[in-house]
Amino acid sequence: MSGHSKWATTKHKKAVIDAKRGKLFAKMIKNIEVAARTGGADPAGNPTLFDAIQKAKKSSVPNKNIDSAVKRGAGLEAGGADYETIMYEGYGPNGVAVLIECLTDNRNRAASDVRVAMTRNGGNMADPGSVSYLFNRKGVIVVPKGELTEDDVLGAVLDAGAEEVNDLGESFEVLSEATDLVGGGGGG
């Protein structure tokens, strides 16, 4: 209880907000490190890194923290955990196929956490390759309709490598290969 002290009340509220913000910052920094490690330190040539930096800037992560995360991820600066991406396969309730992609610095802990989450929610783990063939990684862009027609959208995106355009009512959904999503070809 803070009693009658206004600062004590402010301090307790601030502690909760700062804890949430710190957790968010740590997650964003980790994503930047991993993107820099896997695709290089140049955001112009690494769309994943570019996206991670933009998200961090939107969440007010300081530029100094972003820059040092890029350097750590690219190996230009010491420190940082060795993160890796691991895929798990399983079946959810009623036999629904589930493909889980994890980013972790500890394989054993991640495997245990995923297994616990699956069993507690009515699912079970599957052998590698048993459900992954059902999934494809795709790039998805949703374009608000406004004054656009389907022909306008098709004309603009087919040159850039889009595979499919779907009319969702209020918007258009453009599907492409994930690698074509950022920085791809021309279009109008």
pLDDT in tens, 101-127: 888 888 899 999 999 999 999 999 999
- Predicted confidence band of residue 75 (pLDDT cuts 50, 70, 90): confident
- Amino acid, res. 125: M
DSSP β-ladder status, 138-144 and 171-177 = antiparallel
Tell me, what CATH number does 63's domain have? 1.10.10.200
Domain match, 46 and 96 both: no
Question: Would you state the structure tokens that stand for residue 28, as one six-digit string?
Answer: 């964003």
Domain match, 46 and 16 both: yes
Number of domains the chain contains: 3
Residue ranges making up the domain that contains 151: 138-180
Measured from the Cβ of residue 136, the count of other Cβ atoms closer than 10 Å reads 8
- Predicted confidence band of residue 78 (pLDDT cuts 50, 70, 90): low
Instruction: Tell me the average pLDDT of the chain.
Output: 84
